[in-house]
C-alpha cells in the first residue's frame, strides 16, 4: 500500500472483529512512531502497549468501555512527559560530542538553549518578558515560556508520533481508532505514571468487523480550511 492509499484507507473504527493483530505489525507501527518528527529531537514521549489481560481490562474500563476499546485486539497509550527532556538532552549532547568537528552552535543549542527552554520553570515570567521585548525589534519565538507551553510542545510531538503509528497500521492492512474519551487519572494510575505525564490519546488496533458498516467519510468544503495567501 502506498502512502496515499494508507492515508485514504485509515478510518476510525469503532467495532473490531476477532482477528488478531500479529506482533510484527504492532512492532513495525511502533517503530514508525519512534521516527516521527518532534520538537528539537527531545522525544518526550512514551508508548505503552498494554498486553497484560488485567491491565487491558482496566484500561478498557478507563476508556468508558466504549466499543472501540472493548472490541480492540490491541491498545496503545501515547504519553507525553516533559520531564523526559533531561535524560534525552544529555543523551543528545553525548552523541554530538562524539562527532568530530561538530559545529559549536549545535553543542550550544543542546547544552544551553534546551536547559533554558525546558528547565528553570521559576523564571517563566522572565522568559516571557525577554521573548516579547526582543520580539519588538526582530522576529523571535514567543513560546514556549511557561510550563504549560512546554507541556503543549511535548503533546504536539506525541500526537505526530501517534499519527505515524496509525498510518503504519493502515499500511499493513489493519485498522485503528484514536480515543480521547478516557479517565486520564485512572489511566495514569494504571500505568504508574508521574504527575508530569499527559495521556495524549489511547489508540485501539484491530481489523474492522465486516458486519458493521463504516459510514462514508464526511469532510466539509475545502476552502473553509485551505487558504492560499
Domain contains 197: yes
Residue 24 is predicted with a pLDDT of 98
pLDDT tens-place string over residues 89-134: 999 999 999 999 999 999 999 999 999 999 999 999 999 999 999 9
Same domain as 90, residue 77: no
- Give the end of a domain, one of 106, 124, 147: 147
Same domain as 116, residue 27: no
How many Å apart are CA 170 and CA 2, to the nearest integer? 10
CATH of the domain at 25: 3.40.109.10
Same domain as 201, residue 142: no
Give the residue numbers spanning the domain of 138: 85-147
Q: Which residues of the chain have pLDDT under 50?
A: none
Same domain as 100, residue 77: no
pLDDT tens-place string over residues 7-19: 999 999 999 999 9
Residue 1 is predicted with a pLDDT of 80
pTM: 0.95
Amino acid at each position: 500500500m502506498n502512502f496515499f492509499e494508507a492515508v485514504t484507507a485509515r478510518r476510525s473504527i469503532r467495532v473490531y472483529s476477532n482477528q488478531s493483530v500479529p506482533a510484527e505489525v504492532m512492532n513495525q507501527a511502533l517503530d514508525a512512531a519512534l521516527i516521527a518528527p518532534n520538537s528539537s529531537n527531545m522525544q518526550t514521549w512514551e508508548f505503552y502497549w498494554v498486553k497484560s489481560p488485567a491491565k487491558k481490562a482496566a484500561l478498557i474500563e478507563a476508556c468508558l468501555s466504549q466499543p472501540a476499546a472493548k472490541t480492540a485486539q490491541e491498545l496503545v497509550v501515547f504519553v507525553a512527559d516533559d520531564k523526559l527532556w533531561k535524560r534525552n538532552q544529555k543523551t543528545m549532547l553525548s552523541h554530538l560530542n562524539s562527532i568530530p568537528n561538530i559545529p559549536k552552535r549545535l553543542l550550544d543549542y543542546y547544552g544551553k538553549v534546551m536547559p533554558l527552554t525546558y528547565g528553570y520553570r521559576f523564571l517563566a515570567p522572565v522568559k516571557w518578558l525577554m521573548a516579547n521585548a526582543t520580539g519588538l525589534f526582530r522576529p523571535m519565538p514567543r513560546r514556549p515560556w511557561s510550563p504549560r507551553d512546554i507541556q503543549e510542545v511535548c503533546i504536539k510531538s506525541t500526537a505526530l508520533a501517534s499519527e505515524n503509528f496509525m498510518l503504519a497500521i493502515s499500511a499493513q492492512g489493519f485498522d485503528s481508532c484514536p480515543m480521547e474519551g478516557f479517565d486520564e487519572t485512572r489511566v495514569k494510575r494504571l500505568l504508574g505514571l508521574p504527575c508530569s505525564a499527559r495521556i495524549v490519546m489511547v489508540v485501539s488496533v484491530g481489523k474492522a468487523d465486516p458486519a458493521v458498516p463504516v459510514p462514508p467519510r464526511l469532510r466539509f468544503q475545502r476552502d473553509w480550511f485551505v487558504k492560499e495567501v
